[in-house]
Amino acid sequence: MELATKKSGWVLNQQQTVEAFLCGAIRGEELRWPTATDREFYNSFLDRAIANGVDCLVCHCLKPTPAWQQLPDDLREQLEQRTRNAIAVEMARASDLAALNEGLAGAGLDMLLLKGSALAYTHYPQPHLRARVDTDIFIDPRKIRQVRAVLEDLGYGLLGWTYKSHQFSATRGKYDGRVIRYDVHWRANNGARFARVIDFSAAMRDSVSVPQLLGSRTLDPARALLLACMHRASTVQQNHDRLNWVYDAHLLFIAMKADEQTEFARLALQNNLQAICLETLKHSR
């Protein structure tokens, strides 16, 4: 039992050390890597980068620095290969999203991009740097049946019991046998406490365009940051300190104008979410 406890503590300390290096890489700090023979560290570094959704981001941040050349050759190659794959996937996603946008707009239906699906284009230097497995979209809860009909007409398979949650999934094969997946939300968050905080009609009224994705719109900065904070708080089955979620909040906050920060604070207070929002901002700092 004592050995197990020591081993558990050692693993935790190793993860904390590795994640400190990940954060340092993203911040652009000068890094002093362990010796190249420390395979356990470098294997863990890659594993934790992938698990935290920052492998491509770390590659992007390290490549212009001397620290990049100090990494073992095989680790550099793996990071570069994952980046190449992510770029290819992003191109397929963007093409499919344009077709979906056109199909919904042609039927007179609105949608908003949510979370990382939007931030990848509005706040990250390049969209493939924001890792994600699906594209989150937000629709009018009064138009669920119409949206489902359009999606089926466009060739998507629909998954999930429509009224058992606040979302369903739409999928279809698109690239190299892989699947394009959308999570279609009619509430911005599935948690009971947060489900009705962001009203679709108000969000659509105050929405902003996503310039690189013609026709796409997303939440205004204040609601986008509010949603990022709610998402972390409501995700109890995953690591709520996942680095790409924390980095989303960081990018949103530093890009906000003073009036947008004031609106974010107003929304947090109005919905009694100030403690949750403050915790996220402290953590991102």
Q: What is the pLDDT along the chain (285 residues), one digit of tens a residue?
A: 233 333 334 344 777 889 899 999 999 999 999 988 899 999 999 999 999 999 999 999 999 999 999 999 999 999 999 999 999 999 999 999 999 999 999 999 999 999 999 999 999 999 999 999 999 999 999 999 999 999 999 999 998 765 557 889 999 876 666 789 999 999 988 878 888 999 999 999 999 999 888 889 999 999 999 999 999 888 766 667 889 999 999 999 999 999 999 999 999 999 999 999 999 999 998
Closest to 148 measured CA to CA, from 195, 201, 196, 111: 111
Side chain identity, residue 268: A
Beta-ladder partners of 175: 178
d(CA 204, CA 187): 13
Tell me the whole-structure pTM to 2 decimals.
0.89
The amino acid that residue 172 corresponds to is: R
Burial class (CB in 10 A: 0-12, 13-18, 19+), 171: middle
Count helices and strands in the chain by DSSP H and E runs: 12, 7
Q: From the CB of residue 66, how many other CB atoms can be counted at a distance below 10 Å?
A: 9
Contact 243, 54 (CB under 8 A): yes
